[in-house]
């Protein structure tokens, strides 16, 4: 059952309880502090090309962590924060798990709501994919066109879904034509409930914009494979978002894998990406190697 069709779908108190991760996980501050510490360590210990512009805007930058291997696949990581907070700097740590496996990682920043709309962020993500596909080697990334994977957490998972949905035509300028696979971690795939949440004054979603930016409603006829991950301690609504998206892709005969990280809440679910030996890292590395 899609979230918009659920009982109580216009009840803000219910929606807030389901879509505010702090209600289940506690304050996000300690988690963010760990992200910052781990990310500082990543920038200190890994080869890094910082603040590489992929577009004209002041927040359109990438931090690229090259693995040093020619022809290596590249992962573009898109951070969460409900499209209104954070930047690439808090998420450098995701490179610590993937770079040792011969995978170049680019972590992107993007403009934030309410200064821009979510559709603008989607356009920025497409520009970042195009940049990596064209210029990763020049920027020190070592990646090559056609070996780009996109990964994202929470709001970044929504961006992964939108990138996978774009451009069924597959033209040379289309971001989806460069993407070999998508990895969505605790993503938001149906934005319609958020119009009735505490986020609405910041997101400023119209009915049309919420539908237009919902990957669940934009399942393409063709798509690169997807790995859909979710924390086992997420709210029922957030788990349902991932299940619904996986089911919709499966019904459309698109390649889709579903993976639950048992015991992990919304903030913990990406912690394993700091560890090259974690089960989540192993699952993602196997996915990339299978479809590269």
CB 244 within 8 A of CB 220: no
CA–CA separation, 162 vs 167, rounded Å? 10
Phi, psi values for residue 182, rounded to 5°: -125, 140
Closest CA to 96 of 267, 287, 290, 281: 281
For the chain, what is the total number of helices (H) and then of strands (E)? 10, 8
The residue whose two tokens read 């659920």 is 6
User: Could you give the CA distance from residue 124 to residue 70 in angstroms, rounded to a whole number?
Assistant: 26
Residue 185 neighbours by CB distance under 10 Å: 30
- Domain count across the chain: 1
**Which among 62, 121, 118, 49 has a CA at the least distance from the CA of 88?**
62
Task: Give residue 145's pLDDT.
Answer: 55
Asked if pLDDT for residue 213 goes beyond 50, the answer is yes
pLDDT for the residue 29 = 96
d(CA 260, CA 103): 23
CATH of the domain at 196: 3.40.50.1820
Reply yes or no on whether the pLDDT at 104 is more than 90. Answer: yes
Give the mean pLDDT of 67-92.
Answer: 95
Q: What is the pLDDT of residues 109-145, one digit of tens each?
A: 999 999 999 999 999 999 999 999 887 554 454 555 5
Task: Record the pTM.
Answer: 0.93
Given the structure tokens 């934030």, which residue do they identify?
A: 112
Residue 98 structural domain: 3-291
């Amino acid at each position: 059952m899609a979230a918009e069709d659920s009982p109580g779908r216009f009840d803000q108190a219910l929606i807030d309880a389901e879509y505010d991760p702090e209600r289940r996980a506690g304050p996000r501050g300690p988690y963010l502090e760990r992200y910052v510490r781990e990310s500082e360590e990543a920038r200190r210990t890994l080869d890094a090309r910082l603040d590489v512009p992929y577009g004209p805007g002041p927040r359109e930058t990438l931090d690229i962590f090259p693995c040093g291997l020619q022809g290596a696949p590249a992962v573009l990581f898109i951070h969460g924060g409900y499209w209104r907070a954070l930047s690439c700097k808090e998420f450098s740590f995701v490179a610590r798990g993937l770079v040792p496996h011969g995978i170049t990682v680019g972590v992107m920043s993007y403009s934030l709501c309410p200064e821009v709309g979510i559709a603008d962020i989607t356009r920025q993500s497409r520009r970042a994919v195009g940049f990596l596909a064209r210029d990763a080697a020049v920027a020190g990334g070592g990646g090559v066109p056609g070996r780009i994977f996109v990964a994202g957490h929470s709001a970044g998972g929504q961006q992964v879904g939108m990138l996978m949905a774009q451009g069924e035509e597959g033209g040379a300028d289309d971001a989806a034509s460069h993407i070999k696979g998508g990895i969505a971690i605790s993503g938001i795939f149906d934005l319609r409930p958020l119009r009735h949440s505490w986020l609405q004054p910041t997101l400023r979603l119209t009915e049309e914009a919420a539908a237009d930016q919902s990957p669940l409603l934009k399942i393409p006829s063709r798509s690169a494979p997807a790995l859909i991950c979710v924390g086992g301690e997420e709210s029922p609504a957030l788990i349902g978002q991932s299940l619904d998206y996986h089911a919709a892709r499966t019904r459309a005969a698109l390649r889709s894998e579903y993976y639950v990280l048992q015991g992990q809440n919304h903030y913990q679910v990406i912690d394993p990406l700091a560890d090259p030996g974690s089960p989540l890292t192993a699952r993602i590395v196997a996915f990339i190697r299978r479809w590269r």
